């Protein structure tokens, strides 16, 4: 089964397996998911039954960003009301925030009613994707004044090896994680290459001092933790 067909099946399963859950109709099912009923007043979504997705799991790996569902999160609604939830993940193939409600049920949140999502203290927000020309989820790596450093995650299916003689698969298809960095400046998102000169351009007249700080502390502009330190230092001077 080729990756295009698997992608189609995956998308179809999520959209059609169970149907739409309209706002106000979500029912909490225990298992540690708190405030699930209340948040349904602010957003709708789609149910997916994982037991109906056997074809998807012929692909090695997972479309989700976090390896397991042992997550704690806060969903911030458009009115700034906050909801604590557990077992939340990010589907990096379909660009959707999801919650595992039971062993065989996953809920895909409609992003229209959600302002921000925190998963294990990592912040995710939606901005206009310059490539896809639609809003997408980004992780906020760092922020300073009117600038934010963003990271975009995408899971794609890498096709397995095919025997050229028999035309049969020798290895299974697998999910591959792709990462890109962007900068949000004055409301506009642009892709950002993680090079020192390009990073320093973000800091204008303070670039020299930031450059010295990077050298003195042996920081790497390709490391997320170091990038946070760099932005925090910029904010402090």
- Better pLDDT: 230 or 18: 230
> Which pLDDT band, with edges at 50, 70 and 90, does 30 fall under?
very low
Flag whether 203 is in a domain: no
- Better pLDDT: 90 or 58: 90
Token reading at 67: 């390896």
Please report, for residues 12, 42, 124, 162, the alpha-carbon distance to residue 149 in angstroms, rounded to integers and kept in the order given: 33, 28, 12, 40
Token reading at 233: 């230092």
User: What confidence tens digit (pLDDT) does each residue in 152-163 have?
Assistant: 999 999 988 888
pLDDT at 24 over 70: no
Number of domains in the chain: 1
DSSP readout, 196-216?
HHHHHGGGGGGHHHHHHHHHH
Flag whether 83 is in a domain: yes
- Stretch 9-15: mean pLDDT: 40
- Better pLDDT: 168 or 150: 150
Token reading at 198: 């390009």
**How many Cβ atoms are within 10 Å of 152's Cβ, its own excluded?**
21
pLDDT at 26 over 70: no
Flag whether 181 is in a domain: yes
The whole-number pLDDT of residue 37 equals 58
Average pLDDT, the chain: 82
The whole-number pLDDT of residue 163 equals 81
The whole-number pLDDT of residue 177 equals 98
Q: What contacts 114, CB < 8 A, 6 or more positions away? A: 42, 43, 75, 76, 77, 78, 97, 126
Flag whether 145 is in a domain: yes
Flag whether 208 is in a domain: no
* Angle subtended by helix axes 224-236 and 207-216, to nearest 10: 130
Flag whether 226 is in a domain: no
pLDDT at 222 over 80: yes
pTM comes to 0.78
User: What confidence tens digit (pLDDT) does each residue in 169-208 have?
Assistant: 888 899 999 999 999 998 899 999 999 999 999 999 999 9
Flag whether 114 is in a domain: yes
Q: Could you list the residue range(s) of the whole structural domain that residue 25 is in?
A: 3-192
Flag whether 119 is in a domain: yes
Percent of the chain with pLDDT over 90: 53
> Which pLDDT band, with edges at 50, 70 and 90, does 40 fall under?
low
pLDDT at 60 over 70: yes
The whole-number pLDDT of residue 44 equals 66
Q: What contacts 223, CB < 8 A, 6 or more positions away? A: none
């Amino acid at each position: 089964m080729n990756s295009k067909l698997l992608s189609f099946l995956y998308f179809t399963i999520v959209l059609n397996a169970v149907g739409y859950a309209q706002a106000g109709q979500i029912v909490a099912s225990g298992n540690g998911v708190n405030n699930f009923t209340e948040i349904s007043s602010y957003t709708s979504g789609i149910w997916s039954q994982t037991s109906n997705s056997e074809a998807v799991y012929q692909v090695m790996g997972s479309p989700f960003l976090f390896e397991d569902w042992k997550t704690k999160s806060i969903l911030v609604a458009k009115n700034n009301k906050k909801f604590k939830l557990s077992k939340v993940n990010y589907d990096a193939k379909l660009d959707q925030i999801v919650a595992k409600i039971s062993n065989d049920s996953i809920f895909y949140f409609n992003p229209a009613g959600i302002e921000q999502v925190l998963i294990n203290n990592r912040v995710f927000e939606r901005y206009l994707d310059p490539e896809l020309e639609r809003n997408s989820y980004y992780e906020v790596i760092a922020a300073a004044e009117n600038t934010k450093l963003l990271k975009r995650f995408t899971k794609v299916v890498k096709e397995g090896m095919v025997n050229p003689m028999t035309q049969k698969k020798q290895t299974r298809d697998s999910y591959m994680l792709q990462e890109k960095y962007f900068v949000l400046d004055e409301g506009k998102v642009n892709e950002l290459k993680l090079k020192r000169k390009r990073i320093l351009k973000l800091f204008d007249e303070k670039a020299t001092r930031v450059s010295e700080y990077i050298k003195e502390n042996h920081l790497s502009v390709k490391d997320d933790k170091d990038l946070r330190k760099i932005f925090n230092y910029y904010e402090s001077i």
